[in-house]
């Protein structure tokens, strides 16, 4: 019997490490997609764009995002942070830097409520930018409304984020994203039998499914199956079986990127892609998604709630370059990142109009509420805030498909056909919110 | 078509059994039911993933992960062994809960709770056998069977194995017979850690690579050990396979599918209650 | 004849003024009243909410402490019972317009019944087997909660709002609508729960449980109905934990299955071991350890996940060197100080 002595263990480990270092490495072949920017750091025009570091009294801004517990939307606030860092390097808000940080609610609404109460009570926080909570918009809004605190949310996901008085998302939301995929499928004649996949999170999967069903009923589309699963699900065989059994010709997946990638990997393992048109909402629109899911999935279609990554356009280019200069190397270049960037930009532009000596929660809230007809090449239609109990200013999206591992443009802007949007559209017209 | 579910169930069950064997070897030798076993596997999988992300050769990354799991298990056995030998079985198990929490904390601190993917090279190679089976799945099934049979034979026929069985029945007596008790115990901890590392990597590829999830996969694995009545290796293998298949087949039907994940828990509860049906008032001797 | 007289007098003795107004009870009363009045204004809105949750979990921790400290039973599934209590509170709260207090009582009774029913088959288990079975039950409840979710204003038995209908949070009790008021409400209810458990521990049930733990054969020989007392313990613990669940439901008005996973029960048990399973002060410490320390770590800029490392080391330390936990060590300290003072007085 060989003795387990300390010496033998140490020798074994050193030998292993040596072997590792000698034989060790594999070539780096992961591409960054087509999401690199072309502007150098010193030329970036963030905020005032004057290249001077802001040194005044910091302006505190916060955000709540779900970064753990099964889904991770931290890409949005991280991108807001990148933009704010750039703004702080370029004159800040008329000389005052922005002190930005976000908190993780770990997919627990009790925690969201706690964090929201904390922000509401902290009067030095003037506004919230780039939020991306997956579950807590309703409890958060209750706290914000009591405290005159407003949020330009980067990524709204559940229904409550679009039906709150103090929260206005920059993204279109999974319901609009999914309905516009359905509209595209209908236009292409691929919508005879549609299967929808989503999450069973309250206010998310069921709300999107209701939207798809409403649109389908109004337009004579046959929805052959709906499957809402737990965010922590890892067994995709039942889903694949259901899709096969339903005879669907197209599938709309309304899941975050990593979950969709897991589903697609399971489908690939079973070689079940077939002739079905597989689509996903904007949550899959990530520059690295193509290389992540592999060559098997060439031709995969996703919706994009903001501009397509490879498009020209000042804001799009600014986003890419700001991410290159200020964000982590492996930070995702996805829709959520664009949303966080845009939210921060809208916030900055609104605050630049204020008197720098009088930036308080009240003045900021008034300024945010007054944002209207905000144009950006990242958006299809102008964005606005406005005093209302629902906010869904972004309701036109684009579509892209994966070709050779990267997303390329499939369609331009498609306006939403969601029957539930009529009140919002009427309001836009009557209040002149879109210019 | 149930076949893909049966295959997936057999594979998952084989991994439960493989894990369970590691736990059982340690339990039979030292009386410690290692609740930190899942955490060891999780650590191995996370490290393997991390090394692979740092562009190390995959096989080397896996080997390093397994090595670290073995080392951690050995270290815990070395430090806590003398104390654990003196307390009751319940306290031994509770102490390993502490190990599980420490490892979990380190993992969550180093890598957060994001879901990641451990793509084994053998995941994409497969063939049709009524349904599609990948090489990874064949490895899982094969490895589980080989290790169970191998461990069984080892315990029965080799001198070390006999020493382990002697330790299991009476520690003091075994030491009086000249068996190097501490050395055999440390060997058990090392073997257990290695098996935990291997099963951790395979489990993470078949389920999810997530520290919290993999740490508490010790609960279904425990169910397999329970079916083996904490004694029988073959019982653990059968238990694991049965639990895996029942769980997978339950997920095939819409009415039972949401509850399929509860299979290991239900099976383990029923087995324990059945085994303990005759009330015996025992006085446990804590050594 | 003499025996009957003894029994009667022991019951009288429990309520004598000397025992009621002992130094310890007065100190506890002063502390509780102080906490009630001053905490919200001293710590601010965020921490008031955190302390509310700490207090709620300390009720559940007291139940675990009763089971482990007094009866020697390891229960690794208590957080599931919190979930059951929360579910009942939400369902009844949405379905009827009964006052919150009544709903809490119903939740207590309901959770008590469910706890007893689920624990009934496991009644004769002890030691490791019970720990494993409770862990398995925690896992099973996790799956059930994932399937049923928590009621949020919808119809049907499950009470789930579906298909685009916004979910409604449960309203707070009329006595505690604002956060500071709700904190005080929770502290009062927690004090009542602790009183219930404390009374059980210091009277006949507590003595019977200690006898069962010491030697089951001996307890049987002394005529203590082990099954009956174990059921009683299960019922009391389940009921108080159900109340904790109700308070948790009232806090945010909504609950999510993610808060009631099996690992949460293991963590709560770990905090009880560290805080001290042999006293109710330990339960309070346990509540703070499990719900208050992670935000504290976050506030200090450290990763909240380090709580697991702390709990792991704490647990091992508690098992090896300090089985009485932090509360036990504190009590030892108090005793030593009191002894030193007494010695100085007697000189």
Domain ranges of chain A: 41-173+312-395, 175-304
Quick one: three-class SS letters along A216-265?
HHHHCCCEEEEEEECCCCCCCHHHHHHHHHHCCCEEEECCCHHHHHHHHH
For residues A257 and A71, what is the distance between their CA atoms, to the nearest angstrom? Answer: 9
- Dump pLDDT digits (tens) for B68-88: 999 999 999 999 988 888 888
pLDDT score, position C2: 47
Q: How many other CB atoms are there within 10 angstroms of residue C251's CB atom? A: 25
CA distance C167 to chain B (A): 22
Residue A430 CB burial class (10 angstroms; 0-12, 13-18, ≥19)? exposed
Q: For residue B247, count other CB atoms closer than 10 A to its CB.
A: 25
C224 by Cβ neighbours in 10 Å (0-12 / 13-18 / 19+) ranks as middle
Residue pair A69/A199 in contact by the 8 Å Cβ criterion: no
Interface of C with A (CB under 8 A): 44-46, 49-50, 53, 146, 149, 152, 160-164, 166-167, 169, 179, 248, 251-256, 258-259, 295, 298
pLDDT at C27: 85
Tens of pLDDT, residue by residue over B88-101, are: 888 899 999 999 99
Probe site for chain C from B272, B274, B275 (most C CB atoms < 10 A): B272
Count of C-beta atoms within a 10 Å radius of residue A306: 30
ipTM confidence: 0.88
CA–centroid distance for C290 within its chain = 12
Contact C287, C62 (CB under 8 A): no
In angstroms, rounded to a whole number, what is the distance separating the alpha carbons of residues A195 and A225? Answer: 5
Sequence-distant (6+) residues with CB within 8 A of C255 are A109, A110, C83, C86, C87, C90, C150, C248, C249
Average pLDDT, chain A: 88
Strand order in the sheet with A406-415: A223-229, A194-199, A250-253, A277-280, A301-304, A396-403, A406-415
Q: Does the residue C100 lie in any domain?
A: yes
Q: How many CB atoms lie within 10 A of CB B50?
A: 16
pLDDT at B37 over 90: yes
B287, pLDDT greater than 50: no
Question: Who's near C38: CB < 8 A, 6+ residues apart?
Answer: none
The CA radius of gyration of chain B, in Å to the nearest whole number, is: 19
pLDDT of C1: 45
Q: Which residues of C touch A107 (CB under 8 A)?
A: 256, 258
Q: What is the pLDDT of residues A179-189, one digit of tens each?
A: 999 999 999 99
Contact B223 C136 (CB under 8 A): yes
Q: Which chain B residue's Cα is nearest to C124? A: B279
Instruction: Judge whether C56 and C243 are in contact, CB under 8 Å.
Output: no
- The better pLDDT of the pair A97, B284 is held by A97
Measuring CA to CA, which residue among A236, A249, A295, A305 is closest to residue A276? A249
List the A59-62 sheet strands across, edge first.
A98-100, A59-62, A125-129, A151-153, A167-169
First-to-last CA distance in chain A?
A: 84
Which candidate from C152, C255, C258 shows the least CB-CB separation from A69?
A: C258
Whole-number pLDDT of residue A251: 95
Rounded to whole angstroms, how far apart are CA atoms B5 and B172? Answer: 48
A41-173+312-395: CATH topology is Rossmann fold (3.40.50)
- Residues A391 and A176: beta-carbon distance below 8 Å: no
Predicted confidence at residue C3, as pLDDT, reads 46
Query: Which H/E stretch holds residue B127?
Result: strand B126-128
The reply to whether C10 falls in a domain is: no
In this complex, do A160 and C167 lie within 8 Å of one another by their Cβ atoms?
A: yes
* Residues in CB range of A96: below 8 A, 6 or more apart: A54, A56, A57, A58, A59, A356, A359
Ranges of residues in chain C with a pLDDT under 50 are: 1-13
Q: Would the CB atoms of A13 and B55 count as touching at under 8 Å?
A: no
pLDDT at position A197, please?
95
Q: CATH assignment of A175-304, given 3.40.50.2300, 3.40.50.10950, 3.90.1150.10, 1.10.4160.10?
A: 3.40.50.2300
How large is the average pLDDT for residues A334-353?
93
In this predicted model, which residue has the larger pLDDT, A345 or C97? Answer: A345
Tokens representing C254?
A: 């909504």
Q: Is the distance from CB of A405 to CB of A178 less than 8 angstroms? A: no
Residues of B in contact with C315 (CB under 8 A): 94-95, 97-98, 101
Per-residue pLDDT reduced to its tens digit, B139-196: 889 998 999 889 989 888 988 888 888 887 778 888 888 888 888 999 999 999 999 9
Q: Which two tokens stand for residue C189?
A: 């209810």
d(CA B270, CA B253): 23
Residue B277, class by beta-carbon neighbours within 10 Å (0-12 exposed, 13-18 middle, 19+ buried)?
Answer: exposed
Determine the pLDDT at residue B285. Answer: 42
Task: Give the closest-approach CA distance of C332 to chain B in angstroms.
Answer: 23
For CA atoms C44, C47, C53, C59, the dihedral sign is negative
Question: Do residues B235 and B32 touch, judged by C-beta distance below 8 A?
Answer: no
Q: Tell me which chain C residues have a C-beta less than 8 angstroms from the C-beta of A67.
A: none
Q: What is the pLDDT of residue C8?
A: 44
pTM of the model: 0.86
- pLDDT tens profile A122-134: 889 999 999 999 8
Taking CB atoms and an 8 Å limit, are B272 and C125 in contact across chains?
yes
A168 and A391 in contact (C-beta within 8 Å)?
yes
The domain defined by B3-275 folds into ABC transporter involved in vitamin B12 uptake, BtuC (1.10.3470)
What share of chain A has pLDDT > 70, as a percent? Answer: 92
DSSP string covering A71-118: ---THHHHHHHHHHHHHHTTTTBTTBPEEE--EE-TT-HHHHHHHHHH
- Position A16 confidence tier, pLDDT thresholds 50, 70, 90: low
CA dist C207 and C196 (Å) reads 15
What residues have CB less than 8 Å from A186, skipping those under 6 apart? A219, A221
| Chains touching chain B, criterion 3+ CB pairs below 8 Å | A, C
Angle, to 10 degrees, between the axis of helix B233-250 and the axis of helix B3-30?
Answer: 150
Percent helix, percent strand, percent coil in chain C, to nearest 5: 80, 0, 20
- Counted domains in chain C: 1
What is the arithmetic mean of pLDDT over A142-167?
92
d(CA C314, CA C308): 10
- Which residues of A fall within a CB distance of 8 Å from B124? 268-269
């Amino acid at each position: 019997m060989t003795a387990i002595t300390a010496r033998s263990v140490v020798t074994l480990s050193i030998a292993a490490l040596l072997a590792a270092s000698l034989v060790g490495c594999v070539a780096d072949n992961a591409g960054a997609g087509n999401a690199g920017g072309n502007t150098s750091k010193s030329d970036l025009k963030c905020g005032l764009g004057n290249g001077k570091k802001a040194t005044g009294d910091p302006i505190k801004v916060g955000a709540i995002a779900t970064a753990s517990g099964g889904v991770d939307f931290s890409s949005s606030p991280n991108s807001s942070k990148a933009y704010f860092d750039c703004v702080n390097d370029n004159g800040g808000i008329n000389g005052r830097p922005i002190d930005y940080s976000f908190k993780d609610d770990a997919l627990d609404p009790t925690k969201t409520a706690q964090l929201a109460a904390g922000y509401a009570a902290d009067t030095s926080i003037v506004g919230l930018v780039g939020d991306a909570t997956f579950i807590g918009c309703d409890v958060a809004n209750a706290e914000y409304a009591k405290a005159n605190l407003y949020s330009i949310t980067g990524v709204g996901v559940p229904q409550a984020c679009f039906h709150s008085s103090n929260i206005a998302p920059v993204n279109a939301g999974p319901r609009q994203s999914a309905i516009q995929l359905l509209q595209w499928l209908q236009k292409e004649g691929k919508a005879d039998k549609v299967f929808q996949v989503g999450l069973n999170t309250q206010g998310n999967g069921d709300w999107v499914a209701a939207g798809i069903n409403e649109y389908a009923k109004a337009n004579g589309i046959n929805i052959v199956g709906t499957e809402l699963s737990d965010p922590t699900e890892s067994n995709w065989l039942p889903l694949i079986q259901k899709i096969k059994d339903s005879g669907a010709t197209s599938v709309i997946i309304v899941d975050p990127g990593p979950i969709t990638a897991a589903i697609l990997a399971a489908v690939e393992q079973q070689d079940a892609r077939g002739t079905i048109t597989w689509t996903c909402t904007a949550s899959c629109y990530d520059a690295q998604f193509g290389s992540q899911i592999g060559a098997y999935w060439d031709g995969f279609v996703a919706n994009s709630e903001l501009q397509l990554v490879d498009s020209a356009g000042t804001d799009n280019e600014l986003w890419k370059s700001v991410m290159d200069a200020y964000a982590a190397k492996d930070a995702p270049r996805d829709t959520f990142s664009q949303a966080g960037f845009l939210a921060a930009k809208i916030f900055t532009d609104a605050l630049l109009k204020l008197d720098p000596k009088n930036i308080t929660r009240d003045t900021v809230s008034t300024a945010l509420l007054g944002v209207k007809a905000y144009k950006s090449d990242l958006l299809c239609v102008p964005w606005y805030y406005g005093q209302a109990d629902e906010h869904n200013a972004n309701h036109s999206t684009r579509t892209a498909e994966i070709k050779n591992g990267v997303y390329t443009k499939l369609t331009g802007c498609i306006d939403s056909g969601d029957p539930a949007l009529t009140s919002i559209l009427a309001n836009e017209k009557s209040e002149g919110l879109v210019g | 078509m149930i076949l893909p579910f049966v295959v997936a169930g057999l594979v998952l069950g084989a991994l439960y059994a493989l894990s369970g064997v590691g736990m059982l070897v340690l339990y039979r030798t030292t009386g410690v039911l290692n609740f930190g076993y899942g955490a060891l596997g999780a650590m191995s999988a996370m490290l393997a993933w991390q090394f692979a992300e740092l562009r190390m050769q995959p096989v080397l990354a896996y080997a390093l992960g397994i090595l670290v799991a073995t080392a951690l298990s050995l270290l815990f056995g070395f430090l806590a062994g003398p104390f654990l030998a003196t307390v009751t079985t319940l306290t031994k198990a509770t102490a390993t809960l502490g190990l599980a929490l420490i490892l979990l904390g380190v993992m969550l601190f180093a890598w957060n709770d994001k879901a990641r993917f451990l793509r084994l090279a053998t995941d994409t190679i497969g063939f049709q056998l009524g349904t599609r089976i990948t090489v990874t799945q064949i490895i899982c099934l094969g490895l589980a069977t080989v290790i169970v049979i191998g461990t069984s034979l080892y315990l029965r026929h080799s001198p070390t194995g006999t020493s382990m069985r002697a330790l299991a029945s009476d520690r003091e007596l075994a030491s009086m017979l000249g068996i190097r008790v501490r050395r055999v115990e440390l060997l058990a901890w090392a073997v257990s850690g290695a098996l935990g590392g291997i099963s951790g990597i395979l489990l993470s590829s078949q389920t999810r690579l997530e520290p919290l999830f993999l740490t508490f996969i010790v609960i279904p694995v425990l169910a397999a050990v329970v079916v083996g009545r904490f004694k029988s290796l073959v019982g653990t293998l059968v238990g694991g396979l049965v639990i895996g298949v029942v769980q997978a087949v339950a997920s095939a039907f819409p009415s039972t599918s949401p509850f399929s994940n509860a299979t290991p828990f239900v099976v383990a509860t029923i087995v324990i209650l059945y085994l303990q049906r005759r009330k015996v008032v025992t006085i446990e001797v804590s050594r | 004849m003499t025996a009957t007289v003894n029994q009667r007098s022991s019951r009288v003795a429990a309520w004598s003024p000397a025992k009621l107004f002992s130094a310890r009870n007065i100190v506890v009363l002063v502390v509780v009243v102080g906490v009630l009045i001053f905490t919200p204004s001293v710590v601010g809105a965020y921490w008031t909410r955190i302390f509310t949750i700490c207090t709620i979990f300390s009720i559940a921790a007291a139940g675990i402490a009763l089971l482990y400290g007094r009866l020697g039973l390891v229960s690794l599934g208590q957080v599931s019972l919190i979930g059951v209590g929360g579910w009942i509170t939400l369902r009844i709260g949405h379905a009827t317009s009964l006052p919150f207090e009544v709903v809490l009582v119903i939740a207590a009774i309901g959770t008590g019944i469910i706890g007893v029913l689920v624990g009934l088959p496991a009644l004769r288990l002890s030691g490791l087997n019970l720990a494993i079975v409770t862990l398995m039950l925690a896992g099973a409840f996790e799956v059930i909660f994932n399937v049923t979710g928590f009621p949020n204003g919808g119809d049907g038995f499950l009470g789930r709002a579906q298909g685009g209908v916004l979910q409604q949070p449960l309203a707070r009790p009329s006595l505690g609508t604002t956060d500071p008021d709700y904190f005080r409400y929770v502290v009062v209810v927690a004090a009542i729960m602790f009183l219930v458990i404390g009374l059980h521990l210091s009277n006949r049930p507590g003595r019977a449980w200690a006898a069962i733990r010491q030697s089951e054969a001996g307890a049987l020989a002394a005529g203590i109905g082990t099954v009956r007392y174990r059921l009683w313990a299960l019922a009391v613990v389940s009921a108080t934990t159900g109340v904790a669940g109700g308070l948790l439901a009232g806090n945010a008005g909504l609950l999510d299955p993610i808060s009631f996973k099996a690992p949460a029960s293991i963590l709560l048990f770990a905090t009880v071991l560290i805080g001290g399973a042999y006293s109710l002060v330990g339960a309070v410490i346990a509540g703070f350890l499990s719900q208050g320390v992670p935000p504290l770590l976050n506030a200090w800029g450290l990763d909240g996940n380090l709580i697991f490392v702390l709990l792991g080391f704490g647990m091992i330390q508690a098992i090896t060197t300090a089985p009485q936990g932090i509360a036990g060590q504190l009590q030892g300290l108090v005793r030593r100080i009191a002894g030193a003072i007494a010695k100085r007085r007697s000189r």
